Amino acid sequence: MRADVRVVAHLDLDAFYCQVERAAHGIDVNVPLVVAQYDPFERGGVRTRDQGARRILRDGLERHSLIAVSYEARARGVKRNMRAIDARRLCGDGAVVVQVPTRRSKADLTAYRRAGAAVARILSRGGVMERASIDEAYLDLTANARRTLAETEWREVLATARKAHVAGAAPIGGKGFVSKASLRAGSADGPQAAVEACAASTSGVTDEKTEKELEKETEAEPVDEEEERMRNYRPRPPDEASLAWWDREESAWGETEKLLAAGAYICHNLRKACVDELGYTLSAGIATNKMLAKLTSGMNKPASQTVLCPDHTEALLAELPIDRIRGLGAKFGRELVEGLDVKTIGELARTPIRKLEEICGEERAQWVRKVSLGQDDDPVKEREMPKSIGTGKTFRGALAIRSLESAKKWLAELAAELNDRCEDDRDEWNREPKLLTLGLSSPDELNTNSGHCSRRCPMRLGADEITQDALALISKWSSGRSDWSITGMSVSASNFVTLERESGDVAEMLKNAKSTTGSRLATPAASPIKADQIDASVLAELPEEIQREIRASMRGETSHRGNRAAAGSALLGKRKGGVGAGQKNSITSYFGKKT
Ligand code: DCP
Ligand code: MG
């Protein structure tokens, strides 16, 4: 068995916000549901709207744009970025329009983040997991697939695996399920194939198949109870070409194909666990690298998975429009299309490397060549836990803070933000911080500390508590000084301790989220933070003074400023490990966060 073969899955929740809202409001799966953005021009300011039913909108629908559309609504022609009023027009009065929760005059994604984290916890049972956005993740299933093949009867593996579609099994552009429109990477509208599948069950006839034909398919492939539950969103059963591929003689199977089948078996069981334990459906792509897995996962949405094996890859990419690969869209993609007079990935693959280099230079040409051949070496990486979380703001010139009252006002803002992030962090990593660090930039520190200093105290969670504690630190710092001013302020949380147990389901998690103080602490404080793991892209976003300070600390100029290195590192922690950070040259950095 070739040691370098990988089995990589990409999993993405179907109409994610809609699924969360459906569960929150108890809306039947057959009812078209859309999630709308809040009205930014709401009279009297954007009101806070929590998880309750007040978020179901009945009026003013023209003022809300859509950010998530259920497959039932997609089947009726509703698309993301339409207005909520259009959903009502296309789906009738039965359509449910839910507004995103709001807090402090902006969207509050907490419920979605928590649901995404709960799903991720289940998926991580399958192997090394890399979360790619709020509702998608990559899994490296290689080791698990090898184990599965060694320990599980092939017949059992195959019985489950063959529920997956096989990309490229049917001729592209023919009557098979692989249509250009179903290759949705980079497309905001979702897969046409899935829309057709839904339309078939709701309005009768599709371009390709009559309801009768679909019924016949279902008769030919009886569904078991488990499959029935997964059919919340009526996935289209694999077509005949896919089934013929699965049903080949065992002797015809290559080793990589068997590993991919085992990957499909594992992936199916993980998706089933998400349905059984949380009620959420996902779609998945199983292939030999991240780029191909991502490309494949959207081909048969919703609630379905697709396998892409090496034998079918070339044919699949050959017809794929160039802009379907993330990183080859927009300006760069246009440059290639126009400069080389090519339209598809296949044509790109046949372009001599010299010509590619003329258009985009040596390094990029290499990347383009690899992508066009369906190659991607980027490993699935577990995300690192940030060492600290923080937020800050600068107050230059006339905006400088000169009174405790004004400091308190801004601290309240920063504290609220920090507290939110700590709550999200707790949901994701099951831990709480024990140390609060206040970072200050001030002309008063110029003589002694080159303009910056930091102060620390034990961390109490809660926006008010953080405000009070940070204010007490400022108050102490300012006492004895006259005419002081502050030109930059940051608050950060660090020294995390793991909480005793992980909450297993969403309801439990929401319950836990209400208590913010750490009575469930288990392990001793983590080691102190160091400014040693710095991400350049995050550094660039920080106030200049703080950037300078961190750079100095990286050069080893610690002397009297030990604390400040920690403060800088804390600020960086807010995005450490984020998608795409520090991986500019990798293919998958182009498949960044969608939200
Ligand atoms: N989202 C958003 N604004 C966007 C895109 C997405 O707020 N422009 C949110 C709403 C989505 C969620 O992110 O529910 C996940 O994005 P996806 O692109 O995965 O879309 P869906 O999960 O809604 O649908 P699909 O079934 O196509 O994955
Ligand atoms: Mg999704």
pLDDT digits (tens, 9 = 90+) for 539-595: 454 555 555 555 555 554 433 333 333 333 333 333 323 322 222 222 122 112 232
Find the 476 Cα to ligand 1 centroid distance in Å: 47
Q: Between vectors from CA 298 to CA 167 and to CA 14, what angle results, nearest 5°? A: 140
CATH number of the domain that residue 407 is part of? 3.30.1490.100
pLDDT confidence of residue 448: 78
- Mean pLDDT throughout 346-369? 93
Confidence of residue 187 (pLDDT cuts 50, 70, 90): very low
Tell me whether residue 147 is in a domain: yes
Shared domain check, 223 and 117: yes
Tell me whether residue 168 is in a domain: yes
- Structural domain ending residue among the three candidates 61, 76, 106: 106
What is the residue range of 91's domain?
19-106
Shared domain check, 39 and 94: yes
- Whether this prediction's pTM lies above 0.85 is answered by no
Name the domain count of the chain. Answer: 5
CA 331 to the chain's CA centroid: 24
Q: Is the CB of 79 under 6 A from ligand 1?
A: no
Find the 187 Cα to ligand 2 centroid distance in Å: 12
Q: Give 197-209 pLDDT, tens digit per residue.
A: 333 333 323 333 3
How many whole angstroms separate alpha carbon 497 and alpha carbon 428?
13
The letter for the amino acid at 304 is S
Q: Is the CB of 68 under 6 A from ligand 1?
A: yes
Looking at per-residue confidence, does 536 or 114 come out higher? Answer: 114
Q: CB–CB of 66/32 below 8 Å? A: no
Looking at per-residue confidence, does 65 or 502 come out higher? Answer: 65
Q: CB–CB of 564/530 below 8 Å? A: no
Q: Is the CB of 14 under 6 A from ligand 1?
A: yes
Nearest atom within ligand 1 for CA of residue 135: 15
Q: Is the CB of 309 under 6 A from ligand 1?
A: no
Find the 219 Cα to ligand 2 centroid distance in Å: 30
Tell me the longest C-alpha to C-alpha distance in the chain.
Answer: 86
CATH number of the domain that residue 336 is part of? 1.10.150.20
Ligand closest in space to the Cα of 13: 2
Tell me whether residue 58 is in a domain: yes
Mutate to test the pocket of ligand 1, among 10, 11, 13, 16 (most ligand atoms within 8 A of CB): 16
Q: Which of 11, 529, 4 is nearest to 256 (CA)?
A: 4
Q: What is the DSSP string of 215-282?
A: HHHHHHS---HHHHHHGGG-PPPP-HHHHHHHTS-GGG--HHHHHHHHHHHHHHHHHHHHHHHH---E
Q: Is the CB of 128 under 6 A from ligand 1?
A: no
How many whole angstroms separate alpha carbon 234 and alpha carbon 170?
21
Nearest atom within ligand 1 for CA of residue 69: 23
Tell me whether residue 383 is in a domain: no
**Which residue's CA is minimally distant from atom 5 of ligand 1?**
595
Q: Is the CB of 595 under 6 A from ligand 1?
A: yes
Shared domain check, 133 and 245: yes
Q: Is the CB of 116 under 6 A from ligand 1?
A: no
Q: Is the CB of 135 under 6 A from ligand 1?
A: yes
Q: CB–CB of 305/165 below 8 Å? A: yes
Q: Is the CB of 301 under 6 A from ligand 1?
A: yes
Tell me whether residue 379 is in a domain: no
CATH number of the domain that residue 153 is part of? 3.30.70.270
pLDDT confidence of residue 225: 52
Shared domain check, 573 and 433: no
Please give the mean pLDDT across all residues of the chain: 78
Shared domain check, 159 and 218: yes
Shared domain check, 181 and 126: yes
- Structural domain ending residue among the three candidates 310, 332, 348: 310
Q: Between vectors from CA 36 to CA 34 and to CA 38, what angle results, nearest 5°? A: 160
- Structural domain ending residue among the three candidates 106, 134, 158: 106
Looking at per-residue confidence, does 503 or 281 come out higher? Answer: 281
pLDDT confidence of residue 390: 92
Q: Give 243-264 pLDDT, tens digit per residue.
A: 999 999 989 999 999 999 999 9
Q: CB–CB of 122/273 below 8 Å? A: yes
Shared domain check, 493 and 514: no
353-372 and 330-340 are packed helices; what angle lies between their axes, rounded to 10 degrees? 130
Shared domain check, 401 and 345: no
Residue 372 pLDDT > 90, yes or no? yes
Shared domain check, 398 and 358: no
Tell me whether residue 414 is in a domain: yes
CATH number of the domain that residue 99 is part of? 3.40.1170.60
Shared domain check, 266 and 166: yes
Tell me whether residue 156 is in a domain: yes
Q: CB–CB of 14/303 below 8 Å? A: yes
Residue 195 pLDDT > 90, yes or no? no
Q: Which residues pair with 133 in a beta bridge?
A: 136
Find the 53 Cα to ligand 2 centroid distance in Å: 24
Q: Is the CB of 74 under 6 A from ligand 1?
A: no
Q: Give 8-19 pLDDT, tens digit per residue.
A: 999 999 999 999
Shared domain check, 300 and 206: yes
Q: What is the DSSP string of 387-409?
A: S-EEEEEE--GGG-B-SHHHHHH
- Mean pLDDT throughout 431-452? 91
Handedness of CA 307, 310, 315, 320 (dihedral sign): positive
Shared domain check, 119 and 216: yes
Q: Is the CB of 13 under 6 A from ligand 1?
A: yes
Which residue's structure tokens are 């978020």?
55
Tell me whether residue 2 is in a domain: no
